[in-house]
């Protein structure tokens, strides 16, 4: 018999140290910081069973305080613009922060009365600031969300009572997040496995925490492969179905049951691939499968090959790229390469092999093998090499410069290349192979999925066939 357990907890988010940006000192208020109470529901098989893991970091509104420097006030300075710039700079100095800030989020916080200038609440986002003004602000947390089961067709390559291997189409986001409430792989999985809607609770701005599921042991599971970067997606990177008994699809961002560290729960997601990336992904159905699969990702015993097309052809036919990867300080929706082993970001290593020059050398078919699984890893490393992925506008693989670079090979005109990229409409990246040991039987499983029609068509065009 299934019974529910409700856990209540509080958390105050706080940056470890203040930082300075553009002459302004930024700091988080600790005294009297606002808190929000959240409720977490876990399902167990009996009233005696106790949840084994509870999320430990769900953030309340975060307090910021800044003083306007004279040089900042030399020209007209809007309140909302000032806050976006200052908060973004502060968050960029915290590599582990999953937070994000936008003008709309700041304006909503101002309208809600959570921003004050010199101690007085203000309601106008366009209020002009002067030198010496002190601005304090709290960001609103995102509203609660729900992952709803949706009858979205899945291209399932393998399925048993422990796991599924799915060929994810390009354009599908893996998990529900702000801005992606429907149409995700999680929505499709809930329907496929006959699961109820999954409640989501606010986390620190920009994230979500799944707070309901069902398991035989009542515990929460382990986390995503990113390992698990708290951003939206990796790119290179639960109820029962009829025959599953009391198994569950579940996941969190940590395989540990420790109460320390941030935690993001997602149903069955072992690793992720980007919205624009097509190809193979494995999903766990049970907590045992989840934990053991994640252990394989952590131990680097999972085989993964990715296929891409790059702008230009790398001069070396094969090589290895080693950098750190962190959020781009100028755009927190992008990632950027940083010195390997440095203080910014996390270490990332990718090996590549040029399989075939294309379009007279204007681009190339390149295969990648990942030693780590960082957010946008292949896209960042391709850009770092000077050969961004074809049609990857975010990292320089689209636009006039990319078109000209591809056309320089002489085999295709700029117009032909432009038409090819427009038909592709996404970064030219595909998760080609996936190999791992079955989490229960131990049998080695290997899968290969040819690129979809959009990738294959672009490849043939650039080959000149």
Tell me what pLDDT residue 273 has.
92
The verdict on residue 44 lying in a domain is: no
Question: How far apart are the C-alpha atoms of 27 and 23, rounded to whole Å?
Answer: 13
Write out pLDDT tens, residues 13-57: 222 233 333 333 333 333 333 332 222 222 222 333 333 333 333
Q: What is the pTM of this model?
A: 0.67
Domain with residue 214: its CATH number is 3.30.2350
3-state secondary structure of 272: coil
Greatest alpha-carbon pair distance for the chain in Å reads 72
The verdict on residue 47 lying in a domain is: no
Tell me what pLDDT residue 38 has.
26
Examine the domain organization and report whether 149 and 134 are in the same domain: no
Domain with residue 426: its CATH number is 3.30.2350.10
The verdict on residue 448 lying in a domain is: yes
Examine the domain organization and report whether 146 and 291 are in the same domain: yes
pLDDT at 290 over 80: yes
> Domain ends where: 95, 121, 138?
138
Average pLDDT estimate for 333-351 = 93
The verdict on residue 120 lying in a domain is: yes
Examine the domain organization and report whether 120 and 26 are in the same domain: yes
Question: How far apart are the C-alpha atoms of 265 and 340, rounded to whole Å?
Answer: 30
Count the Cβ atoms, other than its own, within 10 Å of residue 256: 12
Q: Which of these, 202, 169, 151, lies nearest to 35 by C-alpha position?
A: 202
Instruction: Return the active site residues.
Output: 274
Examine the domain organization and report whether 286 and 161 are in the same domain: yes
pLDDT at 216 over 50: no
Examine the domain organization and report whether 450 and 312 are in the same domain: yes
The verdict on residue 204 lying in a domain is: yes
Tell me what pLDDT residue 374 has.
92
At residue 225 the predicted structure's pLDDT band, cuts being 50, 70 and 90, is: very low
Asked if 379 and 394 touch (Cβ cutoff 8 Å), the reply is yes
Tell me what pLDDT residue 462 has.
93
Examine the domain organization and report whether 322 and 458 are in the same domain: yes
> Domain ends where: 138, 167, 183?
138
Lowest mean pLDDT among 91-100, 263-272, 421-430, 451-460: 91-100
Write out pLDDT tens, residues 149-206: 999 999 999 999 999 999 999 999 998 877 788 999 999 999 999 888 877 654 433 2
Asked if 209 and 253 touch (Cβ cutoff 8 Å), the reply is no
Examine the domain organization and report whether 351 and 295 are in the same domain: no
Average pLDDT estimate for 285-297 = 92
- Three-state SS letters, 79-131: HHHHHHHHHHHHHHCCCCCCCCCCHHHHHHHHHCCCEEECCEECCCCCCECCC
Examine the domain organization and report whether 335 and 412 are in the same domain: yes
Asked if 96 and 230 touch (Cβ cutoff 8 Å), the reply is yes
Examine the domain organization and report whether 295 and 151 are in the same domain: yes
Tell me what pLDDT residue 329 has.
81
Number of domains in the chain: 3
Place of tokens 């049609």: 391
Examine the domain organization and report whether 124 and 251 are in the same domain: no
At residue 208 the predicted structure's pLDDT band, cuts being 50, 70 and 90, is: very low
Examine the domain organization and report whether 312 and 292 are in the same domain: no
pLDDT at 113 over 50: yes
Question: How far apart are the C-alpha atoms of 100 and 92, rounded to whole Å?
Answer: 9
pLDDT at 297 over 50: yes
The verdict on residue 40 lying in a domain is: no
Asked if 36 and 99 touch (Cβ cutoff 8 Å), the reply is no
> Domain ends where: 253, 275, 299?
299
The verdict on residue 41 lying in a domain is: no
Examine the domain organization and report whether 210 and 356 are in the same domain: no
Q: Which domain holds residue 127?
A: 3-35+61-138
At residue 278 the predicted structure's pLDDT band, cuts being 50, 70 and 90, is: very high
Asked if 300 and 437 touch (Cβ cutoff 8 Å), the reply is no
Q: Which of these, 281, 306, 300, lies nearest to 378 by C-alpha position?
A: 306
The verdict on residue 46 lying in a domain is: no
Write out pLDDT tens, residues 361-373: 999 999 999 999 8
Domain with residue 10: its CATH number is 3.10.290.10
Residue 98 or residue 416, greater confidence: 416
């Amino acid at each position: 018999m299934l019974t529910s357990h409700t856990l209540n907890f509080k958390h105050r988010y706080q940056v470890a140290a203040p930082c300075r940006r553009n002459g302004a000192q930024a700091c988080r208020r600790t005294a009297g910081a606002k808190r929000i109470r959240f409720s977490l529901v876990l399902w167990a098989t009996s009233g005696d069973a106790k949840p084994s893991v509870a999320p430990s970091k769900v953030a309340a509104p975060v307090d910021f305080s800044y003083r306007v420097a004279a040089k900042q006030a030399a020209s007209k300075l809007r309140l909302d613009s000032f806050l976006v710039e200052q908060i973004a700079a502060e968050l960029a100095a915290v590599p582990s922060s999953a937070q994000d800030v936008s003008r709309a989020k700041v304006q909503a916080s101002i309208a809600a009365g959570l921003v004050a200038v010199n101690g007085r609440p203000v309601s106008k986002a366009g209020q002009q600031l002067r030198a010496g003004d002190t601005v304090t602000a709290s960001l609103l947390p995102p509203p609660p969300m729900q992952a709803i089961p949706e009858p979205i067709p899945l291209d399932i390559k393998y399925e048993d009572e422990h796991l599924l291997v799915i060929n994810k189409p390009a354009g599908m986001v893996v998990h529900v997040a702000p801005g992606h409430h429907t149409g995700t792989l999680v929505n499709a999985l809930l329907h496929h496995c006959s699961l109820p809607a999954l409640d989501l609770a606010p986390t620190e701005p920009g994230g979500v925490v799944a707070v309901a599921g069902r398991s035989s042991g009542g515990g929460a599971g382990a986390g995503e492969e990113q390992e698990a970067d708290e951003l939206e997606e990796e790119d290179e990177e639960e109820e029962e179905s009829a025959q599953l008994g009391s198994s569950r699809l579940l996941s969190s961002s940590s395989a540990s049951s420790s109460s320390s560290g941030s935690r993001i729960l997602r149903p069955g997601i072992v690793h992720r691939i980007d919205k624009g990336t097509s190809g193979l992904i494995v999903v766990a159905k049970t907590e045992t499968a989840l934990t053991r699969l994640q252990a394989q990702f952590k131990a680097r015993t999972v085989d993964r090959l990715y296929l891409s097309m790059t702008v230009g052809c790398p001069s070396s036919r094969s090589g290895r790229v080693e950098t750190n990867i962190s959020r781009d300080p100028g755009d927190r929706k992008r990632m950027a390469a940083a010195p390997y082993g440095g203080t910014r970001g996390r270490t990332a290593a990718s090996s590549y092999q040029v399989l075939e020059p294309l379009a007279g050398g204007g681009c190339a078919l390149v295969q990648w093998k990942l030693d780590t699984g960082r957010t946008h890893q292949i896209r960042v490393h391709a850009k770092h090499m000077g050969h961004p992925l074809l049609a990857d506008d975010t990292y320089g693989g689209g636009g006039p410069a990319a078109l000209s670079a591809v056309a320089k090979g002489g085999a295709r005109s700029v117009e032909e290349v432009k038409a090819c990229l427009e038909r592709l409409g996404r970064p030219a990246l595909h998760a080609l192979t996936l190999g791992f040991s079955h989490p229960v039987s131990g049998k080695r499983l290997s899968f290969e999925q040819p690129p979809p029609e959009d990738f294959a068509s672009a490849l043939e065009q650039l080959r000149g066939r």
